[in-house]
Chain A
């Protein structure tokens, strides 16, 4: 009898408190998760891991791999949240983004900023502990993304994507530098490949959501230089990305079979970019955006094998 009373007075309320806390945590996570732009973060994380694997370390310790994954995830997600926090006024006026948790007021901006800063500090801190050079490159990526791209240039010039690109190329350089212990020419070539791939990714997006960017008064290549010039820029950057990544693949000593697959995928990217110049349609344009993502993910996979 006493045990039953004890159970109903202690365990059940405790259980309901725990259940309530869990519900709050899940609800918060549902709000936080979109802030990390999980697909973009995942793609950048995959470049970092591919950079590390490309170093062909004779022995890969699980704790190195885990540390690399965790530090890159934290730093990339942190800087993305800071970007979301700063751009919440722009997101609120754009059709594509007005439903984001910060833009529609579901999440307190200060809370998001604290989370972004905390993840960034943890990510950079962990990477510095793992290797000072690796930490420096991760920090540079975060700095270029948050300070140079987001705070300084995004609202001022369409060339801000160059800095966004440099920031996006840091994870692969960091991963490679962590594996090699230094920055080498292949690492720079890999970073160049990602840097050249980013315009293909971002500019096709800027064309698809042209009206949105106009409403938010963000200068983009299509609004400043026109669609035709933007398409040519995309084609040129696609060719450069394909050449850089294929050259890096050969220099790394990738098996010839995988080099052939990379060459085929590169040819597809260049073909699609060329088609968008001569037969531009919105569908082909967005098809290029998707193909470029698949290309990059496949290239990273091939570099890692």
Chain B
């Protein structure tokens, strides 16, 4: 197993502190549902960072990781849709709940077909596209501050991490295992920093 270095731990600690700051201060004054959604999203980042510091990269071997890693894009995209696309609020809330439950079920029951992968890719894909594109769209159309596009950058980065890890776990790595794990703490920090800066721009 690839050993976690001191620099990795430093990056992860910075990620944890940034996520904690965002949960404590960065989402004050929002509506109840976005506040809950962002608390869950950044909360998972916070706890994931702590567990990686404590357990090292072995933590990624747990079957819970696939389920928990879905929570970040789902909750953040729900918060974004609720705040900025009020017409689709209920529809997206239903999609979020249904998508999450589907992933939990297909990951908990041993299935030999491709359904678990299709469900995971579908739910991840839609949530990822929303986090990536919606902030850029809102910034470029002037409906949000230019800095808000950083949330989209964070969405792109977390999508990249998800892809690298998913392909690695599926046995078809895009980058080597060592390279993927080596860049992950830095990528996580960049992702969190982009989210925090982007949200503070609003």
Contact = CB atoms under 8 A, between A and B. Distances in A.
A290 to B, nearest CB: 5
Contacts of B46: 261, 264-265, 268
B117 interface: no
Nearest to A272: B51
Contacts of B55: 283-284, 287
B202 interface: no
B23 A257 contact: yes
Given A257-B23, A279-B63, A264 B51 contact: no
Q: Give chain A's interface residue range (CB within 8 Å of chain B).
A: 20 to 34
B58 interface: yes
Given A264-B43, A290-B54, A291-B50, 13 more contacts: A256-B28, A260-B35, A260-B43, A263-B43, A264-B23, A264-B42, A265-B47, A268-B43, A271-B64, A279-B63, A279-B64, A283-B58, A287-B54
Interface string B60-80: 001110000000000000000
A269 to B, nearest CB: 9
A279 B62 contact: yes
By secondary structure, the A interface counts as helix
B20 A294 contact: no
A263 to B, nearest CB: 7
B24 interface: yes
Contacts of B111: none
Contact of B47 (A255, A260, A267): A267
B15 interface: no
A268 B50 contact: yes
A283 to B, nearest CB: 6
Nearest to A302: B24
Given A284-B55, A287-B55, A264 B47 contact: yes
A261 to B, nearest CB: 5
Contacts of A263: 39, 43
B107 to A, nearest CB: 13
12 contacts: A256-B28, A260-B23, A260-B24, A260-B35, A260-B39, A261-B46, A264-B42, A267-B43, A268-B50, A268-B51, A275-B62, A279-B63
Contacts of A258: 24
- Which of B39, B55, B62, B64 lies at the interface centre, i.e. has the most chain A CB atoms within 10 A of its CB? B55
Contacts of B35: 260
Nearest to A288: B54
Given A257-B24, A283-B58, A287-B55, A268 B39 contact: no
A300 B20 CA distance: 15
A275 B64 contact: yes
B113 to A, nearest CB: 24
B94 interface: no
A271 B48 CA distance: 11
Contacts of B62: 275, 279, 284
Nearest to A259: B24
A251 B121 CA distance: 43
A263 B25 CA distance: 14
Interface string B22-47: 01110010000001000100110011
Interface in A272-288: 272, 275, 279, 283-284, 287
A294 B53 CA distance: 11
Contacts of A290: 54
Q: Please list the 7 inter-chain residue pairs (A to B) with the smallest Cβ-Cβ separation, ordered nearest first.
A: A264-B43, A268-B47, A257-B24, A287-B55, A290-B54, A287-B54, A261-B24
B1 to A, nearest CB: 10
Interface string B165-193: 00000000000000000000000000000
B20 A271 contact: no
Nearest to A258: B24
A204 B189 CA distance: 31
A233 B28 CA distance: 36
Given A264-B46, A267-B47, A291 B23 contact: no
B156 to A, nearest CB: 25
Contacts of A272: 51
Contacts of A284: 55, 62
Contacts of B25: 257
B20 A261 contact: yes
A257 B28 contact: yes
Given A267-B43, A271-B47, A275-B62, A261 B54 contact: no
A291 B52 CA distance: 11
A290 B53 CA distance: 10
